[in-house]
Amino acid sequence: MKVITGIDQTKKIVSLIKEKKLTIALVPTMGYLHQGHLSLMREAKKKADLLFISIFVNPAQFGPSEDFEKYPRDFNRDRRLAEQEGVSYIFHPDAQEMYGGDFKTFVQVEELDSIMCGQRRPGHFRGVCTVVLKLFNIIKPDIAVFGQKDYQQLAILKKMSKDLNLDVKISAIETVRENDGLAVSSRNKYLDPRQRENAPVLYKSLKAAEEALRKGFGIQRAEKEACRLLEANDFVKGIDYLDIRDARTLGPVLDKKNKSDILIAGAIQIGDTRLIDNIIYRRS
């Protein structure tokens, strides 16, 4: 396994790989690897000859009062884990390499970026799209694998890829959960033991909404059921959103005759930590 920090060097390696007609899978990450990332890597590895991961805590996707500085980082541990997973290359640039010079170009997927997480985190998805497009241009993957835990991110990246005619195939894997249902995330590290114990309430609330829909209740009632659970938990300091949407369009759920999948998604604040999660309710 090789660690590369420079863009030019990466492009040269990628050219040689392409000359040999080998295919590349990419798993973009911000590091502090967990079981979710490892599942992405395992899946990605099956789909191409060589596996690249990127480890870059992307400043462009953090707001001024967000956790960019304290975002957990442990490159040596990440490197060990990546090696165990059979990663061929880690692309690990610094911010100067990615955004140095007079950087002025950003990519935005309109509308989809201003609902749900985008409401609370203006500019977040613009930062994500920009860095992911840069990674695609540098590494030229045939396939890139993302987690469904960041469902909105995934939808936005698919839309970017379609609208900009990118050649990369975007693939997704299901959310990896702890035994008690909490979605694995690098940010879970911020939770103290009592907060950690209470954090699965988010998943439980999504399941409560799903149960309400299954029983034939409407969207409002289902959202209410979920919020009731969240509001009853003293550790939940705020509900950013609890949204039920069409899983394909992220627009409103159309009438009951429409059988498309339903996204039940939420973001909450536990202490200083923002947690997000979602599940898909399949109507057919």
Q: Is 43 one of the binding residues for ligand PAF (CB under 6 A)?
A: no
Q: Is 222 one of the binding residues for ligand PAF (CB under 6 A)?
A: no
Specify whether the backbone of 101 is left (phi greater than 0), alpha (psi in -120 to 50) or beta.
left
d(CA 87, CA 125): 27
Q: Is 277 one of the binding residues for ligand PAF (CB under 6 A)?
A: no
Outline where 29-123 has alpha helix (H): 35-47, 75-84, 95-99, 117-120
Q: Is 213 one of the binding residues for ligand PAF (CB under 6 A)?
A: no
Q: Are 183 and 176 in contact (CB under 8 A)?
A: yes
Q: Is 132 one of the binding residues for ligand PAF (CB under 6 A)?
A: yes
Of 50 and 133, the one with the shorter C-beta distance to ligand PAF is 133
Among 29, 39, 161, 273, indicate the residue that binds ligand PAF (CB under 6 A): 29
Find all residues with CB under 8 Å of 141, minimum gap 6, and list them: 24, 25, 26, 48, 52, 168
Q: Is 30 one of the binding residues for ligand PAF (CB under 6 A)?
A: yes
CB of 31 to ligand PAF, least distance (A): 9
d(CA 131, CA 133): 5
d(CA 211, CA 225): 9
Of 135 and 230, the one with the shorter C-beta distance to ligand PAF is 135
Of 93 and 266, the one with the shorter C-beta distance to ligand PAF is 93
Considering the candidates 34, 37, 92, 124, report the single residue annotated as catalytic. Answer: 37
Among 43, 85, 113, 150, indicate the residue that binds ligand PAF (CB under 6 A): 150
Q: Is 273 one of the binding residues for ligand PAF (CB under 6 A)?
A: no
CB of 264 to ligand PAF, least distance (A): 20
Q: Is 31 one of the binding residues for ligand PAF (CB under 6 A)?
A: no
Hey, what are 225's tokens? 């059921």
CB of 37 to ligand PAF, least distance (A): 8
Q: Are 250 and 155 in contact (CB under 8 A)?
A: yes
Instruction: Judge whether 124 counts as a catalytic residue.
Output: no
Q: Is 152 one of the binding residues for ligand PAF (CB under 6 A)?
A: no
* Closest of 131, 129, 126 to residue 95, by C-alpha: 131
Q: DSSP of 154-196, one letter per residue?
A: HHHHHHHHHHTT--PEEEEEPPPB-TTSPBP-GGGGG--HHHH
Among 4, 41, 128, 229, indicate the residue that binds ligand PAF (CB under 6 A): 128
Q: Give me the residues that bind ligand PAF (CB under 6 A), please.
A: 28-30, 58, 61, 128, 131-132, 150, 153
Q: Which residues are catalytic?
A: 37
